[in-house]
């Protein structure tokens, strides 16, 4: 068995005990192995404990809570009677749920498409060498550094129909300067998506830019020698090489977009007339405005489920890439 | 030779212990903190520097007169409720909890509050409306130091220049607002945002018109909403009204983008700080001359959470008694531009802040949002905000309110 030697090798050389080797007692191989296993578990334990406490526990709690009548009095009495599927029925019967679900889909798809396309275009753009490349690239990172709520508040001012910068700019260049960005039920969601795209571009750009650096230049050169146009080279060489990175960007982007809350609250509070309610704001509203924590948990669980499906998809794709 | 072995163990054990201790610390600190027998805590939402300071001064005076140490803990207004609930489950509630009056019924219904009369506080000299404001289900749970409500703020210079009088009826206000709407300036600004701000602003129109939160689809409520729609149609209200909070409304007024606004006294501090702004204040106009202008009562109330320690609860009530005493009310009212809750204090305050007299009159007829519905208010409020936003963005008032009423009835 090599475990004895392995554990002995793992020992630090102790200069203060030079004679140690001479008087070394024979080490019991079984206890040494046990110790090693123990040590291995010891190193894993903090991570496991951490995951169980901060991810496992809340997750299970949230699932259980969605089957309970969890009201403010629960916090005092500790009693939350189980009420079967009542919370689920209430949520599904509420017309707002369907609306919020549909709007969440629109928001997520719209944001992802916009963020990804612009992010990719910028990433490709910055692979060229030109003066100020580095400075411009870091400037584009700015939206990423601004907290969501701050961007929300600033954009709300920019979008203001009468006094906003955007409309007065559009007006001066001869375009309609009274666009109801956030004040019309048909425009508001679109505007919120625009802001989220603005916020998401840096993330997409940085990751895709990194991915592009990995694509060997020789391949592009070979393709152009074969007579492929720039677009053809990009489509048939660069994009396939970029596929693993694209999956990462899209899945991570999806998971951070689908649960959007702070941005919507800061921009529109879910209004006007619920036209920007998403599953995230619905959870918030159920739990912290109506204090119906059971219903809030239901919507929360649905969100987790949606994210989990995509996480599994992501893991599968990654595993296949590894093969 | 045991040295090397101990070394190995220590290498493993030290980081493990550190991590476990950290984790344990985090977990344990979330659960029950031991109360310090000599220190009483007051939790409020005075996170602004000025409010925090005024409260600290009040508490310093009270701790001197009562002979106990009092500490102030301030959390953002939107988090008071959830934080207090979390503290309830970990049995670490503060001794005095300042809640927004609209949140109190939820907390009281959950069994989280002790009726103040049981602890020896009286309601002498407090007008009935304000006692009701701090009551739920017939029990008086919360003492208000000051109350606030909404009023009509107007730009004196703009009105003078146009030769217009301060409107007192809906027709006058619509007419005045239309005349004052010029270029980038709107005649009137108010908040119809998709949160409690908007609902708060809708109540004076709904109530003064005889409408009621228990029947959202009544013609009176629809009439109030139609009035808002008419102002919007005239162009006297900005289309952004549905996106504005009360703070936004104040910004628009201060920037000269609105000649009049519906807002509350908490804006006075910033209004006064703006040089060259000559503003006045009046009661919110009523549907017909002679009607009562019924505004919403707002503001925080001081409550004693149910901690199970009777001796401490008695002392907490005395702290509330001191904080809401006549002199403290006047001091706080003058600092914060709100109206004292106590009648005698309000009379003294009127002489000291005569420019706000209209506000004191408005308070006299004002109503509490939760008096009729209690903890149900939040779901009605959500339905109502969705309804008036739908109506302001195109739907008919009747249809929008009918749906809101259905939503409330089926939802509960």
ipTM computed for the complex: 0.80
| pLDDT at res. B2 | 38
Q: Which helix (H) or strand (E) holds B74?
A: strand B69-74
Mutation site for A-interface testing, chosen from B83, B105, B185, B194 by largest number of A Cβ within 10 Å: B194
Give the integer Cα–Cα distance in Å for B44 and B100.
9
Closest CA to B288 of B220, B212, B194, B376: B220
- DSSP per-residue string spanning A111-142: HHHHHHHHHHHHHHHHHS--TTHHHHHHHHTH
Ordered per-residue pLDDT tens for chain A, 323 residues? 444 444 444 444 444 544 444 555 666 778 889 999 999 999 999 999 999 999 999 999 999 999 999 888 888 888 889 998 999 998 998 889 999 999 999 999 999 999 999 999 999 999 888 888 889 888 888 888 889 889 999 999 999 888 889 998 998 998 888 888 998 899 999 999 999 999 999 999 999 999 998 888 888 888 888 888 888 888 888 889 898 899 889 988 998 899 999 999 999 988 799 999 999 999 999 998 888 899 999 999 999 999 988 888 888 877 776 55
CA distances from A230 to A128, A209, A223, A226, A239 (A): 13, 18, 9, 12, 12
List the beta bridge partners of residue B292: none
pLDDT above 90 coverage of chain B, percent: 66
As given in the structure block, the two tokens for residue A177 are 């300067």
CA distances from B405 to A95, B201, B412 (A): 14, 19, 11
Closest CA to B178 of B127, B235, B133: B235
**A76/B88 CB distance under 8 A:** yes
Shortest alpha-carbon distance between residue B105 and chain A (Å)? 11
**B238/A185 CB distance under 8 A:** no
Q: Which of A20, A38, A72 sits opposite B110 (nearest CB)?
A: A72
Q: Enumerate residues 94 to 153 of chain A having a beta carbon within 8 A of any beta carbon in chain B.
A: 94-95
As given in the structure block, the two tokens for residue A220 are 């592009």
Give the integer Cα–Cα distance in Å for B220 and B226.
10
Is residue A142 within 8 Å of A151, Cβ to Cβ?
no
Give the integer Cα–Cα distance in Å for B373 and B285.
26
Is residue B113 within 8 Å of B96, Cβ to Cβ?
no
**B389/A285 CB distance under 8 A:** no
Q: Which helix (H) or strand (E) holds B279?
A: strand B279-282
**A49/B242 CB distance under 8 A:** no
**A271/B194 CB distance under 8 A:** yes
Is residue A204 within 8 Å of A253, Cβ to Cβ?
yes
Region at B210 (left for phi over 0; alpha for psi -120 to 50; beta for the rest): left
Q: Which helix (H) or strand (E) holds B96?
A: strand B96-100
Closest CA to B96 of B301, B336, B374: B301
Least CA distance to A274: which residue of chain B? B386
Q: Enumerate residues 66 to 85 of chain A having a beta carbon within 8 A of any beta carbon in chain B.
A: 71-78
pLDDT band at B256 (very low <50, low <70, confident <90, very high): very high
As given in the structure block, the two tokens for residue B183 are 């270029």
| pLDDT at res. B11 | 52
For chain B, give the number of residues. 412
* A191 at B interface, C-beta within 8 A: no
């Amino acid at each position: 068995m090599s475990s004895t030697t392995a554990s002995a090798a793992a020992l630090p050389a102790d200069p203060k005990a030079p004679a140690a080797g001479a008087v070394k007692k024979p080490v019991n191989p079984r206890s040494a192995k046990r110790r090693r296993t123990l040590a291995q578990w010891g190193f894993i334990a903090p991570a496991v404990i951490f995951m169980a406490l901060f991810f496992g526990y809340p997750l299970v709690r949230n699932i259980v809570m969605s089957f309970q009548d969890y009201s403010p009095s629960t916090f005092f009495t500790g009693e939350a009677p189980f009420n079967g599927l009542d919370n689920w029925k209430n949520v599904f019967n509420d017309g707002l749920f369907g609306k919020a679900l549909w709007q969440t889909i629109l928001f997520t798809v719209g944001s992802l498409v916009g963020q990804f396309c612009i992010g990719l275009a910028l990433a490709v753009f910055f692979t060229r060498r030109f003066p100020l490349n580095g400075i411009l690239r870091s400037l584009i990172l700015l939206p990423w550094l601004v907290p969501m709520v701050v961007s929300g508040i600033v954009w709300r001012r920019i979008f203001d129909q009468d006094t906003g910068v955007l409309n007065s700019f559009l007006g001066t260049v001869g375009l309609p300067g009274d666009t109801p960005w956030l004040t019309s039920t048909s425009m508001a969601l679109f505007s919120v998506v625009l802001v989220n795209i603005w916020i998401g571009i840096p993330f997409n750009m940085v990751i895709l830019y990194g991915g592009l650096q990995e694509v060997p230049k020789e391949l592009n050169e070979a393709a152009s020698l074969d007579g492929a146009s720039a677009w053809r080279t990009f489509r048939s060489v660069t994009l396939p090489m970029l596929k693993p990175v694209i999956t990462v960007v899209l899945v991570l982007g999806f998971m951070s977009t689908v649960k959007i809350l702070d941005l919507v609250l800061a921009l529109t509070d879910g209004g006007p007339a619920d036209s920007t309610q998403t599953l995230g704001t619905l959870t918030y509203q159920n739990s912290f405005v109506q204090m119906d924590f059971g219903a809030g948990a239901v919507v929360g669980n649905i969100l987790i489920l949606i994210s989990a499906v995509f996480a599994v998809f992501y893991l599968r794709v990654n595993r296949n890439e590894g093969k | 030779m045991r040295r090397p072995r101990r070394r190995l163990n220590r290498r493993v054990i030290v980081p493990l212990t550190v991590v476990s201790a950290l984790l344990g610390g985090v977990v344990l600190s979330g659960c029950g903190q031991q109360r310090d027998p000599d220190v009483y805590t007051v939790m409020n939402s005075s996170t602004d520097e000025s409010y925090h300071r005024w409260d600290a001064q009040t508490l310093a005076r009270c701790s001197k007169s009562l002979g106990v140490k009092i500490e102030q803990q301030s959390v953002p207004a939107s988090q008071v409720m959830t934080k207090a609930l979390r503290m309830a489950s970990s049995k670490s509630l503060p001794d005095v909890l300042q809640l927004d009056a609209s949140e109190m019924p939820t907390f009281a219904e959950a069994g989280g509050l002790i009726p103040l009369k049981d602890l020896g506080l009286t309601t002498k000299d407090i007008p009935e409306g304000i006692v009701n404001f701090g009551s739920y289900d017939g029990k008086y749970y919360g003492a208000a130091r000051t109350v606030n409500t909404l009023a009509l703020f107007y730009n004196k210079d703009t009105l003078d220049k146009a030769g217009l009088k301060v409107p007192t009826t809906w027709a006058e206000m619509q007419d005045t607002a239309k005349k004052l709407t010029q270029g980038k300036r709107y005649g009137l600004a108010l908040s119809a945002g998709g949160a409690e701000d908007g609902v708060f602003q809708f109540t004076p129109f709904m109530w003064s018109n005889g409408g009621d939160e228990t029947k959202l689809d009544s013609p009176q409520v629809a009439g109030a909403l139609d009035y808002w729609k008419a102002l919007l149609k005239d162009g006297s209200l900005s289309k952004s009204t549905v996106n504005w909070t009360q703070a936004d409304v104040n910004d628009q007024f201060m920037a000269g983008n609105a000649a009049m606004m519906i807002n509350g006294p908490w804006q006075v501090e910033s209004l006064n700080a703006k040089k060259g702004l000559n503003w006045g204040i009046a009661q919110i106009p009523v549907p017909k001359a002679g009607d009562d202008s019924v505004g919403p009562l707002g503001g925080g109330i001081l409550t004693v959470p149910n901690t199970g320690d009777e001796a401490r609860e008695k002392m907490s009530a005395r702290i509330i008694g001191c904080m809401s005493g006549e002199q403290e009310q006047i001091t706080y009212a003058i600092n914060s531009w709100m109206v004292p809750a106590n009648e005698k204090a309000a009379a003294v305050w009127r002489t000291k802040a005569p420019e706000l007299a209209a506000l004191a009159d408005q308070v006299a007829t004002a109503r509490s949002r939760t008096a009729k519905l209690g903890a149900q208010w939040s779901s009605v409020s959500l339905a109502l905000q969705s309804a008036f936003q739908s109506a302001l963005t195109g739907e008919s008032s009747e249809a929008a309110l009918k749906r809101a009423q259905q939503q409330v009835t089926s939802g509960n």
